[in-house]
Structure 1
Amino acid sequence: MKKSIFIGFFALLILASCNKDEKILDLLNNYNTSMETKGYHFGDKIEFPKEVTENAESISISFGDKETSDLVIDPKFFTLGDNAVTINITRDGKVLSQDATINVFAKNPEKNLTYEIVAEYPHSTENFTEGFYLDGNTVYESVGLDGKSKLMKYTLGSSTNSKEVNQPQDIFSEGISSVGNKIYQLTYKAKKGFIYDKNTFEQIGEFPYPNVIGEGWGMTTDGKTLMVSDGTKNIYFLSPSDPSKMIKYISVAGNKEVYDSINELEYHDNSIYANVWQKPIILKINPKTGEVVGKFDFSAIAKKHITNEDDVLNGIAFKGENMLITGKNWDKIYEVKIK
């Protein structure tokens, strides 16, 4: 009889423990939703619900093959934007794990930047613009789509290309930039880029992407490094002498928003300017930290041209201190003065 009572009591303890485990995991799951909404800044400490901490022998956070029991948002482990992590709760000698997303935002709110249109130039509606920059008064443009991709250049204000080269039928061209006498061009899904002689447009090389880059989207340069986007929150820094190797990367986020789908890029005056795919905005980004310090809203211009999900704002260049913008299949390039 005593043995039966003991077994029954032991079973109740196991059941209570299992229920407690489930409750902790439910709390973590609900807390995950609040973390995604609330977000943190670097230096903040992650505060778990009291019922979790009181019933845990230890708490750690793992990031793939890295793990830390320090619950402070440290840039050694976290990046700006969304961070996929696993929360590990050690309790009664066993580990309870819950996948979670922790958003890290920039500390300072981004400024709303304003502009005025000062000039308009023609742009071919045949150009599915993927890469775009200005050198002197010459526009260099990369046009996408399978079977229609090409690299071209023309004088700003002209409707006639002074030089162009077509890509193979299976290549979808993306962002471009130039360093010295070389033009670098990305491809969408071919996992490689091309290198051209800037004067003759003769292809003089190609390079594979670093493994971390899934797709080619936008490209720019500060004259020393190539900066590449791949449709995520990240911007990757590559060496022009060997673009197959990554130097570093930054992740992009504002004060209350994670910016994904970073697309066409332009570097100007110690800042990176970036389109966000399918949004009529351009971000001004600190290239050292990835923090969005300013944002342009070009809705008024974009709505004149956008009729479907493809013909979006996607082209940034600088003419002196003024910005040039255009989009896929737009009939105009706009020169705007930044107020």
Structure 2
Amino acid sequence: MKKLNLLYLFILNLLLISCGSNSGKKKSDFSLFTETEKNEFQLGESVQLKIRNIKNRQIDSAALYFQEKYITSSKGEPSLQLQLQNFKLGNHVARAIVFSEGETDTITLPVKIYNNIPPTVYTYRIINTYPHDQTAYTQGLEFYRDTLYESTGQYGSSTLRKTNFETGEVLQQAELADKYFGEGLSILNDKIYQLTWNEGEGLIYDVTTLERQGSFKFNNSKEGWGLCNDGHQFYKSDGTEKIWILNGKTLVEETFIQPTTHRSVSTQLNELEWVEGMIYANTYQKDGVAIINPENGAIEGLINFQGLREKVTQHANLDVLNGIAYNPNTKKLYVTGKNWDKLFEVEIVER
């Protein structure tokens, strides 16, 4: 009987809390819509948002928020203007708080923002060709102080390597436990950060010895794909439309950008590389590399690497393009692929 009474009190408390909360109320008497009845726009457009008053209640005022910023407010039957300048691209939600008859209602509207300029299209020119370990299932590639580091994948054979890129020789290697599938890597302040695929964990190493020093968890994303850094913070892909931005000290995924062209939001972005203020990202199982503005996610360029895979030895385990490395000291760019026996120094040429 005591247990029954306690259960009754618990349910009653839940009902009371729900009734006093906006989230527990019936469907709102208001809705948010655009003057043109569309929700896809391009950067730079002005969007006129209005509130549909379903029950003809008196509206005292309304406030508009977008991408965690207060935008504007209006009194009476409000019309709220949203100027799409200096915002991140992709899929977002406009939120309005309506003040009416002593109550507040929060209403939302999905808003998709495309870039207002098509990406510039590039091709490539091969400058040099170097040997590369054909058994390496390349997941991450990055220069640090003129030395090339590589992360390889596959359960039971994932590694972290320090290599001589001119000869293909593996100078040093650390093997991952069989439970890990190695993914992208990036190096900051003498530490190597290597992602794992489905384990929700990143691994930390000393850049000189390749000894494990710790690990970190993925707090928002479920998977690890590609990783790069700008000298202060990390950028991490996870196969979705998001590139997560990680705090360089805590490694917490604090926010994200969505790589977007003038007509679509991209997914399946894999290996990442920081190149002169931009993020280079290859699309998994494709021959293209996107050049992404890290501030708003705009895809400002597309590099077509079609035909490069045909220039390596063809064999049963040959896989897709994956591996971008930029040496900031020499200003040279290198690409390879999974189980490719060649590393290419390339020059990017506008088509």
| Shorter-chain TM-score tier | 0.7 to 0.9
Distance 1:309 1:155 in 2: 23
CA 1:39–1:104: 2 relative to 1, 3 Å:
same
- Residue identity in the other structure for 2:259: V
Compute the displacement of 1:302 (Å): 3.2
Correspondences of 1:105-254 after superposition (within 5 Å): 105-210=114-219, 212-243=220-251, 245-254=252-261
Q: What SS does the aligned partner of 1:148 have? A: coil
Letter in 2 for 1:270: G
In the other structure, the counterpart of 2:338 is 328
Whether 2:292 is the aligned partner of 1:311: answer: no
Larger proportion of strand: 2
Count of aligned residue pairs for this structure pair: 293
Contact map agreement 2:242 2:256 (CA 8 A) in 1: yes
Given the superposition, is the C-alpha separation of residues 144 and 46 from structure 1 closer, same or farther in structure 2, using an over 3 Å criterion?
Answer: farther
2: CA distance between counterparts of 1:73 and 1:299?
A: 39
Deviation at 1:81, TM superposition (A): 2.6
User: What's the C-alpha RMSD, in Å, of the aligned pairs?
Assistant: 3.8
Secondary structure, aligned partner of 1:114: strand
Which residue matches 1:43?
45
Distance 1:83 1:295, change over 3 A: same
Relative to structure 1, the CA distance from residue 261 to residue 70 in structure 2 (aligned partners, 3 Å threshold; closer, same or farther) is farther
Q: How far has the Cα of 1:73 moved from its partner? A: 6.9
Query: Where do 5+ consecutive residues of structure 2 fail to align?
Result: 1-32, 72-78, 96-107
Relative to 1, partners in 2 of residues 1:310 and 1:85: Cα closer, same or farther, differing over 3 Å?
A: farther
- TM-score w.r.t. the length of structure 2 is 0.71
Distance 1:205 1:114, change over 3 A: same
The answer for the alignment partner of 2:285 in structure 1 is 278
One-letter amino acid of the counterpart of residue 341, structure 2: D
Matching residue's letter, 2:230: D
SS of the residue corresponding to residue 294 of structure 2 reads: coil
Which residue among 298, 301, 319 is the counterpart of 2:308?
301
Runs of 4+ in 1 over 3 A off after TM superposition: 38-44, 53-58, 60-63, 68-76, 82-86, 99-103, 302-310
Give 1:241 deviation, angstroms: 2.1
Matched-pair contact (CA < 8 Å) for 2:49–2:80: no
Match of 2:263 in 1: 256
Q: Deviations over 1:150-169 (max 9, x none)?
A: 10111112232110011111
Q: Which of the residues 315, 328, 348 maps onto 1:338?
A: 348
Aligned to 1:23: none
Return 5+ residue gaps in structure 1 as ranges: 1-27, 87-98
Aligned-residue offset at 1:304: 4.4
* SS of match in other structure, 2:169: coil
Separation (CA, whole Å) in 1 of partners of 2:333 and 2:287? 15
For residues 264 and 44 of structure 1, the distance between their equivalents in structure 2, rounded to whole angstroms, comes to 35
How has the CA–CA distance of structure 1 residues 40 and 240 changed in structure 2, closer, same or farther, with 3 Å as cutoff? closer
1:233 match: secondary structure: coil
Contact 1:103 1:258 in 2 (8 A): no
1-side partners of 2:93 and 2:49: how far apart?
A: 17
Amino acid of the structure 2 residue aligned with 1:119? N
For residue 130 of structure 1, report the CA deviation from its aligned partner: 0.7
Deviates more, 1:192-201 or 1:298-307: 298-307
Query: One-letter code of the match for 1:227?
Result: Y
Contact persistence 2:124–2:304 (CA under 8 A):
no
CA positional deviation for 1:217: 0.6
Query: Which is richer in helix?
Result: 1
Q: Matched residues in 2 for 1:73 and 1:235: separation?
A: 24
CA contact (8 A) 2:159 2:176 kept: yes
Shift of 1:54: 12
Structure 2 vs 1, CA of residues 159 and 233 (structure 1 numbering), >3 Å: closer, same or farther? same
TM-score normalized by structure 1?
Answer: 0.73
- Between the aligned residues of both structures, percent identity stands at 32
The 3-state SS of whatever aligns with 1:242 is coil
